[in-house]
Amino acid sequence: MTLPGSAAGRPAIVTGGAGAIGGEVLDVLAQRGHPVLGLDLAGGPGMVSCDVSDEASVAAAFSHVRERIGPPLIVVHSAGITGQGGVEEEEPAAWRRILEVNLTSAYLCARQAVAGMRDAGWGRIVFVASVNGRFGGSALSGPAYAASKGGLLTLARFLAREHAGDGITVNAVAPGPHDTPMWQALDAALRHRILSMQPGGDRGPGDPRDLAATIAHLCSDEARYITGATIDVNGGQWMG
């Protein structure tokens, strides 16, 4: 079934498509009539095996996507890894790896996608950042994670300005805690402390399906007037 506001039929890719949030985005975009593939190291049905931090792997994955469903006109970047500790605990190798997977990968994917979007006169790019990119993170996220997610917000603004004349919108979402396996793996006391940072935190974490719907809206024709924006989906943990 094709739903309203779908820009239906336009090819889409979702990095981190095997993850909890990426998987929901894949499903929602497919329901809205898009041919869609995930990019993920995990591979599997509906996935293209890809190390999004590696230039050659990203180039090969995009080539495969073009052959299967056409040039992607929607790119949702949901791939990411986290760290922990402060600058003394997070080793330089971990810092570099987190920046490569979370931020450099977004640059590599955008670099592959914009030419096809420009040719079509239409494109949508959405980066899944984090509330940590808003308030600076903590030892729970580690410095590289917070810096990389903040970098996604700035990269979205740069690309939005650079490609506005090409009919391409570029936005970011900044999720707070959502009910994913990563969230459930946290200690109950820690989950309570995180939720206490939100107004009405007893409502619990967000629903990944709702987040996916917000992302899908940013990929629709109805969102044509939204670009360079960061949409906060964090229960009021950050009000900027």
Which range in 11-15, 86-90, 193-197, 208-212 is most confidently predicted, on average pLDDT?
11-15
Residue 186's pLDDT is 67
Residue 234's pLDDT is 86
Q: What is the pLDDT of residues 56-109, one digit of tens each?
A: 999 999 999 999 999 999 999 999 998 888 999 999 999 999 999 999 999 999
In a domain, 40, yes or no: yes
In a domain, 169, yes or no: yes
In a domain, 119, yes or no: yes
Residue written as tokens 């079509």? 120
Residue 183's pLDDT is 67
Longest distance between any two alpha carbons in the chain, whole Å: 52
Number of domains in the chain: 1
Would the pLDDT of 5 be above 60? no
Q: Which strands make up the sheet holding 47-49, listed edge to edge?
A: 47-49, 36-40, 12-15, 74-77, 123-128, 168-175, 230-233
User: Catalytic residue positions?
Assistant: 145
In a domain, 3, yes or no: no
Residue 136's pLDDT is 82
In a domain, 2, yes or no: no
Q: Which residues contact 97 (CB under 8 A, 6 or more apart)?
A: 53, 81
Instruction: Give me the long-range contacts of 177-182 (CB less than 8 A, separation at least 24).
Output: 177/205, 177/206, 177/234, 177/235, 177/237, 178/20, 178/21, 178/205, 178/206, 178/207, 178/208, 178/211, 179/204, 179/205, 179/206, 179/207, 179/208, 180/19, 180/20, 180/21, 180/208, 181/20, 182/20, 182/82
Residue 201's pLDDT is 62
Q: What is the pLDDT of residues 150-206, one digit of tens each?
A: 999 999 999 999 999 999 999 999 998 777 777 667 677 777 777 777 787 667 777
Task: Name the β-bridge partners of 7.
Answer: none
Q: What is the pLDDT of residues 116-126, one digit of tens each?
A: 999 999 999 99
In a domain, 41, yes or no: yes
In a domain, 225, yes or no: yes
Would the pLDDT of 50 be above 60? yes
Span 136-162, average pLDDT: 91
Residue 3's pLDDT is 46
Contact 108, 136 (CB under 8 A): no
Q: What is the pLDDT of residues 52-64, one digit of tens each?
A: 999 999 999 999 9
Residue 197's pLDDT is 76
CATH label of the domain that carries residue 168: 3.40.50.720
Residue 207's pLDDT is 84
In a domain, 236, yes or no: no
Segments forming the whole domain that contains residue 49: 12-229
